[in-house]
Structure 1
Amino acid sequence: MQNADIARILNRLANMLDIEGANAFRVHAYRSAAQTIESHPRALQEMVTHDAPLTELDGIGRDLAEKITELINTGRLTVLEEAEKRLPSGLLQLLRVSQLGPRRIRQLHEALGIDSLETLKKAARDGRIRALEGFGEKTEAGILKEAERLNDAPPRTRLDEAHRAADDLIAWLEHAKSAQRLSAAGSLRRGRETVGDLDILVSSEDGPAIMAHLMAYPEIAETVSHGKTKSTLRLHSGLQVDVRVVGDESFGAALYYFTGSRAHNIATRKMATDRGLRINEYGVYKGKQQLAGRTEEEVLAQIDLPWIPPELRENRGEIEAALEGTLPELVTLDDIRGDLHMHTTASDGKASLEDMARAAKRRGYRYIAVTDHSQRLAMANGLDARRLREQMTEIDALNERLKNFTVLKGNEVDILEDGSLDLPDDVLKALDVCVFSIHSRFDLSREKQTARILRAMDNPYVNILAHPTGRIINGREGYDVDMEAVLHGAKARGVFLEINAQPARLDLADHWARMARDIGVMLAINTDAHATEQLGHMALGVTQARRGGLERQDVLNTRTVTQLRKLMKR
C-alpha cells in the first residue's frame, strides 16, 4: 500500500465524518495526517514492516498510528467501514459541487433524502432545494448548473499520484535483465493535471521476459490482458496501466506515438503523408524502408520539425511555431530561485519558520516568502496584526543567522466578500510580499466575484493572487470568475498571479497561464507548502507553466531577490 493510497483513504474517512457532523478537531486530525503521509519521503508500509514507530510522524498519535497499521496490514479500516454503513457513498460525490460543504450536504440528505449527484439534480430541477433554510432560488440554480457539469464517473488520477505509480513500476521493470530503455508516455508525459491511465514503454529484444518480470509486480490487482509484448493491468489504486515492449530501433517512434496527443499526432502524420512518408509506433517509413525510429528527434527530423517538448504537444500552435522557429524556450526547475507561498507552524503548517527556510536553502533556493494565513481563517490558526508583527521580528532575527539566503516577510491575506482585505493597510505595507486569496463565498455571481478580486487588487500593498480560481482537482469546481478581466486588471495594476503547485490545485490551469503570458502578466510558481517535503511540488508547478508555454522571463520567481523586491513595490 502506497502512501498516496493511505492518504486517500484517510481523506475519505475525514469527508464522511465531516458530513456526519463529527467533532471538527477529529476531522482535522485525519486531514492533517493524510497531508503528512502523502508528502512523507519514507513509505509507511516499510515503516510498519520494520516496526518503525508511526508516532514519529507529525500529527500522528497512538490511536491514529494503530488505525494506519490496521489499514496496511489488512487492507481494511474498521472505522471507515462503519462510517460507510452509516452514510451512502454517493454523498462524497456531492463535495465536488463547490456550493456544497459538509454541513449543507448533511442538511440536504436529512431533509430531502439526497444521496447522489442524480438525486441532487432531480431535487434542484423540481425546485425542492430552494425551500431549505440557507439556500434559496439563486443557490439552487447554481447547484444545478454545476451538478450538471459533473457525472458519476470515477475521477481521473491526479498527476502526482500517476507519477508515483509510474516511477514505482518503471523502477521494478528496470530490474528485468533484458530491459534497455524505459519511459512513461501518454498524458502523464505531457504533464496533464490528471491522467486516465498509464502508458509505459520498454525497449527490449525479449518481450516475453519483460512480461514475465512485469507479472510479478506486487501492486497488480487485476490482469486485464497479457501478451508477449503488451499487457494491460489494473493496480491496487485502481489505475489502469498498458505496458508495451518494442525493439530499441523503434523506441523513439513508440515514445512519440504513445505520448500523443491524438490531435498533435494526426497533424504530424498528415505532414508525413504529404511528403510520401508514413509514421507509426514503429518508425518513419518510405514504403517498407524504415528511415527513423530510434529517437523522437530522428522521427521529427523526417518531417522537418525540431524536437517539440511533450508538454506542448496538444495541437495548439506548437507545430506552426516549430516550423517558424519560434517555439518557446520553456522554463525549467533549475530556473527557479525561490518560493513565494508557504506556511509554518505559526498557522497551519507542519514545520517551523527556520525549518522551512533551511529546507528551501538545501534545494538551492536563494529566498522564500513565508505567507501564513491571516486571521479570517480561524481553523488554520490565522495570524492577526499582532502575531504577524511578531513573526516579522522573528524573520529579522533568522535572516541575521542565515548566509546567502533571504526570508521575505509575507502573509496570505484573505479577500473578504466586498473585496476588502483581512488585515489593515499599515500591516500589509510592512510586508515584502503580500499574497492574497479567496477562501470563502465561492457562490458569488461571476460579476460579483470578478469585482471582488479587482477591488482587492486596487489595494496598493497586495502582490500575488494565489490559487486564482479556487478549484480542487477531483474535488470542486472553482468559483465563477472572468479570468480574462482579472488578468487585464492585474496587468493594469502591476499585480501578479500564481500557479499554485499543490497537486490538488495546479491553479492556474494551463490555458489561463498561456493567456497570462500573452497579456503580459508574470506568474509566480509557488508550492503553498505546509511541510518541508511539499517544497518538492515545485516540479509540478513548473510542468503546468511549461504546458502554458511560459519561458523564464514569464515567471516571477526566476528573478534575484533584489529584482523581486523592486517588482513587489507597486
Structure 2
Amino acid sequence: GEDQFRIRSYRNASRVISGMSESISRMADDQEKLKKLPGIGESMAEKIIEIAETGKLRQLEELKKEVPQSLLEVLRLDQMGPQRTKMLHDALNIQSIDDLEKAAREGEIEKLEGFGKKTSAKILKEIEKFKKEDRPDRFLLGEVDELISSLLDHLEKKVDQMTIAGSYRRRKETVGDIDILATAEDPGQTMEHFVSLEETREVLSKGESRSSVVLNSGLQVDLRIVKKRSWGAALLYFTGSKAHSIVLRQIAREKQYKLNEYGIFRGKKRLASKTEKAMYEKLGLHYIEPELREDRGEFKASRKNRLPRLITLEDIRGDLHSHTDATDGRHSLEEMVEAARKKGYEYCAISDHSRRVAMARGLDEKRLAAQVEQIDELNRDMKGFRILKSIEVDILEDGSLDLSDEILKELDLVVCSVHYHRNLSRSKQTSRILRAMENPCFNILAHPTGRIIQERRVYEIDLEKIMKEAADRGCFLEINAAPDRLDLNDEHIRMARELGLRLSISTDAHALDHLNNMRYGVDQARRGWLEKEDVINTRPWSELKKLLQRK
C-alpha cells in the first residue's frame, strides 16, 4: 500500500548493498560511510544497521503480523499480483493457496467482477503447476551432494584446504546456494580453474578472492579464497546461521571486541582467527557444532558446558525400514541384506508394504508368512548379522492396522504408517494414530507427518500429543532419512528429545543405494540435538529387542 517512490527506494538500496564486495556487517559499523552510498540516506542507513545488528527490521515484523505468511505464498502465483490478491482476500477471505483453489473449484472466483471463467481456470492451472513444480530457489541437501561432487573433484588439486560453509555445512534439509571457502597458493589460477568447470552455465563474477558461477542445474556456487590466518574466522562467519552470527557479534561487542570474517579484534590487534575453536573460546564459549548454530539455545548450553554429544553415522548399528522387490522395491531381499551387511550393520529390517498399498503390490497375510519363512531360513546360515522380520503396515482410517495381529505377532518389529485419507481433520487424524498405538503390535510410526519436502505438506496432527502417548506406551517415531522426506523435521526431533521419546533413524530404502541416505537422517538428528542414546538403532539387537517389547 506504500507509494511507488518508497518501494523503488527500498529496491535501489537493496541493489546497492547486494552489489558491494564488503560485508554488510562491516559496513554497518560505520553509518557515515553507509550514507555516502548512492540512494542510502539517514533513514535507510538506520534500517540497514538495525538488520545487521538484530537480523530483523521492526517495521517489517509489524507488517508480517498484519499479513499471514500463507497469503504471501498466493503472491508467488503467476496469475496473482498484489491487487488481485487483495481483491480476493477482501471479497472471499482468501488466506492461502488452498483457500484460493477451493474458491476456484466451487465457482466463487468467476462470479467476481473483473475475473470470469477464463481467469478462474488460469488460476487453477497455475495452482496445479505450483504444487507440482514449486521449488522456492532451494535444492534438497541430497541433490546438492550429487550436483557438486564433480566440482569439488575439479577444485581439489588447486587448493590447500577447502570446506563448504553456509546452510550446507549446517546440514539444513534444503540449500539455496553453495559457499566454498578455500586457501590457495595461487588464488588467480585457482579462480581461472574454478570458472572453467564444464558444468558451468554462467559466470556471474570472477575476481582474485571471490568468484561466482551458476551450474547447469541452476545452483549458484561462490568460491572465496581466504588467508590461512583467517581460516577459522571466515569459516565461522560464512557458516552462519544469521541468527547465530548476530548473537556472536553481540557477545563480542559486550567484551569490547570487534568480530568479522577476518577474526576477533581489540582495536587493530587480532585476538583470534585461525580456528573456529579459538574464536569461540575467545568469546567465552565452548565449540558449537555447525548443525546447532541456529540460536535455539546453543549459547546457554555452551556457557554451561552442556552441549549434546551429537550422534554420528558410526553410531548406527542397523536400518529398521527397507523394501524389496516383493512390493515396490527394486532389489531382492537377499540383495538388500547383503548391501546392509557391507555397510557394517549388525541387522536390517525388511519392512515391505502391506496389502492396503495396492499400487505397490502390498503383502497380504499369506505372502508375508512366506517372507517370514524365507527370512528365518536365511538367518539360520547368517553369522554376525540378523535380518529382522518386519512390515510397513498401513494405519486404516478407523485406526486399525491393515493386517491381523496373528501375523504381526510373528514379526520382530512392526512399522506403521499413514498413506491414505491424509485430509482428515486434525482431531480425527490424531485419534486415528493414537488408536493404532493401542495395538500392542505397534512399534514405530514411520514418516510421522507425511510430508515430501517442497511437494507435499504435512497432514494435520497433534504431534506433541502423539509423541507423549508414544513415550508412555513404549512406541517410537521414525526419522525418515529419505532426502525428500527428512520426516521428522529438526524442530520436531528436538521436541521428541525434550519429551523423553526415543526415535529410530531409517532410510525407507527402496533400492541398494538408498541405504546410503542414512547420513541425511543422522544430519537431521544432529540438528535436533540428538545423542546416541536418543536413537534406538544405535543399540545391539539384544538391547533393541527389549526396547521393542511393549510396556
Same fold (TM over 0.5): yes
State the Cα distance separating 1:206 from its structure 2 match: 2.6
SS across alignment from 2:205: strand
2:220 matched to 1:203?
no
**What is aligned with 2:113?**
none
The one-letter amino acid of 1:304's match is G
CA distance in 1, matches of 2:280, 2:202: 37
Between 1:166-175 and 1:272-281, the stretch displaced more is 166-175
**What is aligned with 1:569?**
549
SS across alignment from 1:433: coil
> Which whole-Å deviations, capped at 9, do the CAs of 1:123-178 have from their partners, x for residues lacking one?
533562699xxxxxxxxxxx9xx99x9896635100111123333322211121xx
2:161 matched to 1:161?
no
For the 8 Å contact 2:135–2:454, the answer to whether it is kept is no
Q: May I ask how many residue pairs the two structures share in their alignment? A: 442
2:535 matched to 1:531?
no
For the 8 Å contact 1:205–1:248, the answer to whether it is kept is no
The one-letter amino acid of 2:142's match is D
CA distance in 2, matches of 1:197, 1:317: 26
2:355 matched to 1:355?
no
2:482 matched to 1:482?
no
**What is aligned with 2:313?**
333
Match for residue 324 of structure 1 among 283, 288, 304: 304
Q: Superposed, which structure 2 residues align to 1:127-526 within 5 Å? A: 128=106, 154-176=136-158, 179-526=159-506
CA distance in 1, matches of 2:97, 2:339: 48
> Which whole-Å deviations, capped at 9, do the CAs of 1:514-559 have from their partners, x for residues lacking one?
0101111110000000111111100000000000000011001001
CA distance in 2, matches of 1:399, 1:323: 50
For the 8 Å contact 1:156–1:474, the answer to whether it is kept is no
State the Cα distance separating 1:233 from its structure 2 match: 1.2
Q: Superposed, which structure 2 residues align to 1:49-88 within 5 Å? A: none
Distance change >3 Å, CA 471–CA 122, structure 1 → 2? closer
CA distance in 2, matches of 1:331, 1:495: 21
The one-letter amino acid of 2:155's match is L
CA distance in 1, matches of 2:141, 2:235: 19
> Which whole-Å deviations, capped at 9, do the CAs of 1:27-50 have from their partners, x for residues lacking one?
xxxxxxxxxxxxxxxxxxxxxxxx
The one-letter amino acid of 1:441's match is H
State the Cα distance separating 1:225 from its structure 2 match: 1.6
SS across alignment from 2:514: helix
For the 8 Å contact 1:464–1:498, the answer to whether it is kept is yes
The one-letter amino acid of 1:560's match is P
CA distance in 2, matches of 1:119, 1:296: 43
- Whose radius of gyration is greater, 1 or 2? 2
CA distance in 1, matches of 2:408, 2:100: 47
Match for residue 548 of structure 1 among 519, 522, 528: 528
For the 8 Å contact 1:123–1:129, the answer to whether it is kept is no
> Which whole-Å deviations, capped at 9, do the CAs of 1:48-90 have from their partners, x for residues lacking one?
xxxxxxxxxxxxxxxxxxxxxxxxxxxxxxxxxxxxxxxxxxx
Q: TM-score, normalised by structure 2?
A: 0.77
State the Cα distance separating 1:278 from its structure 2 match: 1.4
Unpaired runs of at least 5, structure 2: 1-72, 78-94, 110-123
**What is aligned with 1:48?**
none
Distance change >3 Å, CA 329–CA 129, structure 1 → 2? farther
SS across alignment from 1:308: coil
Distance change >3 Å, CA 378–CA 153, structure 1 → 2? closer
The one-letter amino acid of 1:465's match is L
Match for residue 103 of structure 2 among 96, 120, 125: 125
For the 8 Å contact 1:170–1:183, the answer to whether it is kept is no
SS across alignment from 2:451: coil
Distance change >3 Å, CA 324–CA 129, structure 1 → 2? farther
State the Cα distance separating 1:306 from its structure 2 match: 1.7
CA distance in 1, matches of 2:296, 2:511: 36
State the Cα distance separating 1:242 from its structure 2 match: 1.3
CA distance in 2, matches of 1:118, 1:168: 40
> Which whole-Å deviations, capped at 9, do the CAs of 1:497-520 have from their partners, x for residues lacking one?
000000110000000000101111
CA distance in 2, matches of 1:483, 1:118: 23
CA distance in 1, matches of 2:530, 2:174: 20
SS across alignment from 1:172: helix
CA distance in 2, matches of 1:433, 1:120: 38
SS across alignment from 2:193: helix
Distance change >3 Å, CA 435–CA 129, structure 1 → 2? farther
CA distance in 1, matches of 2:368, 2:134: 44
SS across alignment from 2:302: helix
CA distance in 1, matches of 2:162, 2:447: 35
SS across alignment from 1:403: coil
For the 8 Å contact 1:284–1:299, the answer to whether it is kept is yes
State the Cα distance separating 1:388 from its structure 2 match: 0.3
Distance change >3 Å, CA 122–CA 534, structure 1 → 2? closer
Distance change >3 Å, CA 181–CA 322, structure 1 → 2? same
CA distance in 1, matches of 2:107, 2:368: 42
CA distance in 2, matches of 1:122, 1:516: 34
Q: TM-score, normalised by structure 1?
A: 0.74
Q: Percent identity?
A: 50
State the Cα distance separating 1:466 from its structure 2 match: 0.1
Unpaired runs of at least 5, structure 1: 1-92, 98-116, 132-142
CA distance in 2, matches of 1:247, 1:309: 23
Distance change >3 Å, CA 561–CA 120, structure 1 → 2? closer
SS across alignment from 2:414: strand
The one-letter amino acid of 1:393's match is E
Between 1:555-564 and 1:299-308, the stretch displaced more is 299-308
RMSD: 2.4
SS across alignment from 1:285: strand
> Which whole-Å deviations, capped at 9, do the CAs of 1:4-29 have from their partners, x for residues lacking one?
xxxxxxxxxxxxxxxxxxxxxxxxxx
The one-letter amino acid of 2:444's match is I
CA distance in 2, matches of 1:533, 1:501: 13
